[in-house]
Amino acid sequence: MKIALLGYGKMGKIIEKIAISRKHEIVLTIDHDTLDDLTVENLQKADVVIDFTMPASVLGNIKHCFDAGVPIVVGTTGWYDQIPQIKQLCEQSNNTLLYGSNFSVGVNIFFHVNRLLAKVMNSYPYYDVQVEEIHHTQKLDSPSGTAITIAEGILDNLETKSEWVNVLTTDDKHDDDTVSNNQLLIESLRIDSVPGTHTVIYDSEVDTIEFKHTAHNRNGFALGAVLAAEWVIGKKGFYSVDAMFDFK
């Protein structure tokens, strides 16, 4: 495939390396120094676009790709309140978009098992549950998109919780951690050089059950994004990343 990369930071460079190792070609890279190259004409040189940018720019990037008629895989988070409008625009213009909070194969297995576990734990209400996520200090959003997806999987299957709330802890800051019984706590910690660790904790007076995913580096996220780009070729419509996976 010919791939355009929107966002050419650490993730973009790893995606480039993995894509090339899978015999694909990078025909366009866009970062803050090359924004003038983000044109319909340049986008049309690609078979597919992969976006790992910022919430402030992702909606404009999506619309550029729709104008160009090129499928886009969106790994950027922080724009999900706009999903209904973007989905409508995608379908009306006969375009293709696949988005996800995390493209890692391991994380998507984790998402699936998390939903199954929450369904099981619904029969045992004396266990309380919370989500903990740890990322590097350069991560700007809190909670992570991955943690939100985990929390939503729990909320969909556990009757004792009705909404999630976030508490952010850094070296010099700790948010108020008052949480009601019906609220699912997502505790976010920011620690240098941690690619991403997510833990679901079910706790009772007699024991604790922990379900954890630890990323050793960004390679799993990048490989998943390239696999998503391969999967989306030839398709039309609006997809979330779980459409790629056939979990029974």
Active-site residue list? 135, 139
Q: How far apart, in whole angstroms, are the C-alpha atoms of residue 212 and residue 110? A: 8
Residues 11 and 35 sit within 8 Å (Cβ to Cβ): no
**Strand ranges, E, within the chain:** 2-6, 25-30, 48-51, 72-74, 96-99, 128-135, 163-170, 173-174, 183-190, 197-203, 208-214, 237-240
3 state SS of 35: helix
Half-sphere exposure of 138 (CA within 13 A, CB side): 5
Cβ neighbours for 179, distance < 8 A, ≥ 6 positions apart? 165, 167, 185
The residue written with tokens 């973009």 in the block is: 12
Q: Which of 237, 198, 192, 188 is nearest to 221 (CA)?
A: 198
Residue type, 180: S
Q: Are strands 173-174 and 163-170 parallel, antiparallel or unpaired?
A: antiparallel
